[in-house]
Each structure stands twice: as C-alpha cells, then as structure tokens.
Copies of this chain bind each other. A is one copy, B any other.
Amino acid sequence: MPSPSPAPFAGSGNLAEQLVRLTRRMHRAQKRHLEQLDIAFTPAQSRLLRIVDHYHGTPPRMADLAERLEVVPRAVTTLVDALEANGSVRRVPDPANRRVVRIELTDTGRRALRALRSARRAAAEEILAPLTAEQREVFGDLLSALVDGPGGHH
C-alpha cells in the first residue's frame, strides 16, 4: 500500500463538490457573456441546440435528444417547447412513422448558435484561466475520457 493519503480533504472526497462549483461558475460566466450579446438561452436549451446542430444524418427525434442529453423524454418536451417558441427550432413530423417528431434547426437557431458558441468560448477561457495551455489539454483529455468512458453510453 504505497498510498500516503495525507490531506483529509484530498483525493476524490471532493469530486462532487468541485464539479458542482465549476459547473455553476461556468453557467454564470456563460450567462454573463450571453447577456452582453443580448440573447437569453438557458444552459439546457443551449445544450439541446448544440446537439441538434451536431447531429448527423436526418434530424434527431425527441428520443434521440433525450438520450444525448441524458435526461428523461419528458424533459425534452419542455426544452423544445421553449426553443420552438423563440423560433430556434421546428418540430417536423416524420412521414415514415407518424409517432416520431424530428427537430430541425431554423435560420434563427443557426444565428443563435454562433452567439452561443462565442459566449461558451469566452466563459471557458475564464474558467480555464488558472491553467497553462498544456494543462488545459491534459484536463480536456481526462474530462473526455471520463465523459465518454464506461457509463457514458447508458
């Protein structure tokens, strides 16, 4: 057993705490930058919009979005309602299966995505400020390994 384990607060005892704090700061920073651009999307709406944008092939179904967001289908309805109300996306019935609804980006949505991206980048820059370029790269790689790792695909 080589583990010295010195600090009482060290190790993973903190993981949840640190993740919560970082996530909240990131959201606050994004909100601040979005306000400067005079647009208002909530973090969950931003995530959904981005997923729609990066989706390959035919536009995603509600169920696809639920899976990508890692939320229950009901949660997607609320988000799409709001995004459809402000004109960022469009619900398109699938002729091949009349139960499914596909979510398409509108031109308005595409414009919003550009603003969202710039706010996201500015916020990330703030959050990552304490790290050097090499540290950021390492951090990003580890984060990706965690997110895409076991448990990442349900």
Contacts and interface: CB of A to CB of B under 8 A. Distances in A.
Chain A, interface residues (CB within 8 Å), range: 35 or more
A82 interface: no
A22 B111 CA distance: 28
A77 interface: no
A123 B16 contact: yes
Contact of A16 (B19, B43, B129, B142): B43
B70 A121 contact: no
A145 B130 contact: yes
How would you classify the secondary structure of chain A's contact residues: helix, strand, loop or mixed? helix
A147 to B, nearest CB: 5
A78 interface: no
Contacts of A151: 25, 126-127, 129
Contacts of A117: 13
A131 B18 CA distance: 17
20 contacts: A10-B140, A11-B140, A13-B117, A13-B120, A14-B140, A14-B144, A15-B120, A16-B23, A16-B120, A18-B144, A19-B22, A21-B70, A126-B151, A129-B149, A129-B150, A130-B145, A131-B145, A139-B139, A139-B142, A142-B142
Interface of A: 8-27, 30, 43, 46-47, 50, 54, 70, 117, 120-121, 123-131, 135-136, 138-140, 142-147, 149-151
